[in-house]
Structures are given as structure tokens and as C-alpha cells.
Amino acid sequence: MAIDRFANRIEGFEPYIYTMRKTENRQCIFLSGDSCTIYLTRPLICRFYPFELKNVGNDRYVFISTDECPGIGKGSKLEAAFFQKLFDKFIKLMKENAKSIRKE
């Protein structure tokens, strides 16, 4: 599926360059009931949810959380290793994307 069918290009939110389109109910267009219809191939922002990676400058990033998730503050405390794993995934995907862009 072409990216412009499910996302809009944005600026000023690096490392993100797209935002997912939503339905009239402000839900993800890939949500069916309580299930993600593209779970295995979901974008990076979805893999991080309810967290978001924020560029704070000088190649430094921090994770912030969204207020829209009802699970924030519930459950066990997440340790640094959890966020390191997410960040490692980000680095890996960015390298893969850079390679595919160079091939085009």
C-alpha cells in the first residue's frame, strides 16, 4: 500500500516524518475492534506506543509517553533495558531505511 494512503508527511517531529491517518472517530485506520490489522508490519511509531521517541538535539533522544493511553501508570515499572531495546530497534530500522533510500 502506498504510504500516502495511510499517513501524512509532517515536519518538525524528527525522527518521525509521517503521522498515521485516523478515522472520523480519531482511531487508527488499521484498527478493527480491538485488534491491529497490520500488527506484524506495523510502523515504528506503533511499535513504540504509548511511547514516542523525541529528538532533543545533538543526536540525543528521549522517550515520552502519550496521555491518550489508559494504561499509563498501571502495571509494573519499565526499566531502562526496555527502552534501550526500543531504541536499538529504532537505530536498526533507520539504518535499513537509509540503505533502501540509497538504492533508489
4: burial class by Cβ within 10 Å (0-12, 13-18, 19+)?
exposed
Provide the CA 88 distance to its chain's centre, in angstroms: 13
For the whole model, what pTM was predicted? Answer: 0.64
Q: Where are the domains of the chain?
A: 3-103
> Residue 60 contacts by C-beta under 8 Å, 6 or more apart in sequence?
none
Provide the CA 35 distance to its chain's centre, in angstroms: 17
The enclosing H or E element of 78 equals none
Cell of 15: 525522527
pLDDT on residue 81: 93
Give the residues across from 18 on adjacent strands: 9
Reported confidence tier of residue 102, pLDDT bands at 50, 70, 90:
low
Using one digit for the tens of pLDDT, what is the confidence trace for 13-52? Answer: 777 788 888 888 888 889 888 889 999 988 877 888 888 8
